[in-house]
Structure 1
Amino acid sequence: MTVPRRPLSPASRRATQAVAALGAAALLLTGCGSDDGSDNASSDKGGSASAGTRTIKDATGTAVKVPAHPKRIVTLTQEDLDAVLALGVKPVGITNGQGLDKPPAYLAGKVKGIDVVGNLLQPVMDKVVAAKPDLILAGDMQDEQVLKQLREITPATVVTMAPTDDWKLTLRGIGNAVGELPKANKVISDHKRAAKAAGKKLGANKGAEVSIVRWNPDGPSWMENKQFASGVALEMGLKRPKNQNKDGNAHTPSLSLEKINEIDGDWLFLSTLTSDGEKALKDVQKKPAYKDLGAVKKKHVVTVNGSVWSTRGGPLAADEVMNDISEALTKK
């Protein structure tokens, strides 16, 4: 199994093991920030926060001093961007979306006029400097050299995601970092209520089995239950096909044509991330093995946006997934 989205080098993979052990606990600690802006998990020397700053722990367990009220935030992943926008915070610098050379389409209307400082987890340092950040949200950045450069720009550089963290845990950590933890908790509560309500409106498709698949150049891979889009579907009361009912947070390795039946379900949601993936999908759609899938015969195949469905997610992306499912399953 591979962690969804970003492939790791062997060195990064070793670092990931240590990060994963600390990640969830660390971000839960960041959720302990009090309403007055102090942080119960850690503090400045002398036992209290200095004027205008707080000390939090990021997703790696590292203590980071951040502004009590950050004004100039740079986000290095679309998940960080999604989160701050959902919290009502407008950053001064962002990166392009996953697999894109522009910001993700579902957020485009909310980021007009904001400077792009690089691609996903690949900041152009001169552009970051020009944004004059007082807080950098560095996503799941694992490159220590890049982190060092970012911390030279501002020590308030926060790794917001550990490899196994879900979007809700990440949102709470980001909410604490930007001083909006109560709002983060409300966003999560509102989402849970909305997902439950949407699931009740699915009529004959209520409780249907949904297969969630990303088509790669070398074949399809289905998503485990704790992967972002799968989690949204389960919150709506939907089910996964029996062979996909696995509790991990990854995509499976790409399947061969001989195993394509593993992606079948009452409904099949398909996404791609690259033009090569799109081409591979079009080629397979002409073959009998694909045409024999139950979902294909019932015309229950829905093409969705991979730059939303195949990410680690956020509250605004969760709304997109929920809307896509609701539209498809209630369409007459």
Structure 2
Amino acid sequence: MEACMGFLDRLDPDILLKIFTYVDDPYDLVRVSSVSRSWRHFVIANGLWKQLCLRKFSQLSRVTHIVELNKCWAVGAVEVGSSHSKEWEYLERDDRAYALLARASTTFIDRDCISKAISASSTDNYPEESIYNTLNPADTSYWSSKGQSNPAVPETLVYKLADDFCVITEINLRPFQVYFHEGLPIYSAKSVRFRMGHPKSPTDSGNDLLGYSLPDSVDDKFIWTYTSQEFPMAQESHLQKFRLPEPVLCVGGILQIELLGRVQRCEIDGLYYICISFVQVLGRPLSPALGVEILEPCGKFVLKIKNERPFELQAQSNHTVTGSVAEAS
């Protein structure tokens, strides 16, 4: 223990901070915090949990402040009469929030994160071929766009995610193969791109748009804070997986799928269509541990610590080293 403290004392603080910024695994930072009080103090004072989270999720640069709901954590001891006691309390609160976020975003197993379908840019036959059908894994149901003579006309599908605050890792699509047309054509897109964001109005969750075709008003309803690269799409009817280069923190719970370009023309009317049979979004909702409140019109948000207990219970079932994890909070 004395050697550990001596290591901190002998190194220049800037050099030591540079060394610790190479720690990019939450459980390694848990271990660093558990070495001694001196190391724990260094982690809190320099906001190492926050720095780790910002490196993983650039969206966190829009956090204005942190709020603890139903606070049940004891603030660390501070020197009586210290003029910095309040500042240290804030540092400890930030440490708890970002430690919880880092752990919650990496601990839980990915699951389907779609809650409901909101709207499609066009629908050929509503409601028989509506966007609702894309939530059914059966390969006989599908959404179909309207036909276009220009194959470059894009389409968009908008969904509400399972949580307003979640980490998205992968989005999977299955183009529809029209088994009742001659030649069994597959109406895929040439490529696909993904956007994530939130409603422009805090009171507008998108529920008033459910199922309708809204070619002109989607961008009037939502603000997109993340846009992915463009992924090529195969003209094949199996579930095609599009894994994002890095996990994305979606703040606001809205996903838009952009279907770019058309490859299949219908022999009946000579028009180009896009048809999608199934959409799956994989990720990790961060509720009930954490939540957000989006501030308009600036688009920044408040990060809320809602309840750490459910996270701890699940973490105990998934990990055998939870003693150190609990100490970090």
Same fold (TM over 0.5): no
Q: Higher relative CO (CA 8 A, sep ≥ 6), structure 1 or 2?
A: 2
* Structure 2 length-normalised TM: 0.24
Question: Which of 1 and 2 has greater Rg?
Answer: 2
* Structure 1 length-normalised TM: 0.24
Question: Which protein has the bigger strand share?
Answer: 2
